């Protein structure tokens, strides 16, 4: 989220372009207060003293979204949100995700 806030039409970064991000997240100028922004959602629930369900995250150490995962992990830690974070060798693909499907389901059951 933090790297795409305020992105302008015609621009792009290493991951995608403005059109893709606006399709997924809506108006990028309003991302700070958007329900498409997980940090905003967590912050609002904390303000209202609402329960936040525990969160499970897994990311490959070679994933192109590793820094974004670290940012969100650190945000959750700073805000004392209950979460589990797993990181191991892998990229943003089904091979990595399949490795964490069973542990994620096991985590849910517990």
Q: Is 75 among the domain residues?
A: yes
User: 23 and 64 share a domain?
Assistant: no
Q: pTM for the complete prediction?
A: 0.87
Task: Quote the CA–CA distance of 59 and 100 in Å, as a whole number.
Answer: 9
Query: Are residues 57 and 14 both part of a single domain?
Result: no
> Do 31 and 4 form a contact (C-beta atoms < 8 A)?
yes
| Same domain as 97, residue 68 | yes
**Enclosing domain of residue 4:** 1-36
- pLDDT one-digit tens code per residue, 57-97: 999 999 999 999 999 999 999 999 999 999 999 999 999 99
Q: Which of 58, 24, 52 is nearest to 40 (CA)?
A: 52
Take residue 44 and report the two structure tokens written for it.
């609002």
95 and 58 in a single domain? The answer is yes
Sign of the Cα pseudo-torsion (18, 19, 24, 29, in order): positive
Coil vs helix vs strand at 86: strand
The number of distinct structural domains making up the chain is 2
């Amino acid at each position: 989220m933090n790297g795409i806030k305020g992105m302008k039409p015609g621009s792009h970064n290493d991951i995608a372009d403005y059109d893709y991000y606006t399709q997924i997240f809506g108006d990028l100028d309003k991302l700070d207060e958007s329900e498409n922004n997980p940090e905003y959602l967590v912050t609002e629930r904390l303000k209202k003293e609402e329960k936040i369900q525990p969160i499970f995250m897994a990311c490959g150490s070679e994933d192109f979204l590793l820094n974004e995962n670290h940012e969100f992990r650190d945000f959750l830690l700073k805000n004392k949100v209950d979460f589990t974070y797993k990181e191991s060798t892998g990229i943003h693909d089904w091979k990595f995700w399949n490795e964490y499907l069973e542990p994620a389901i096991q985590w849910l059951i517990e």
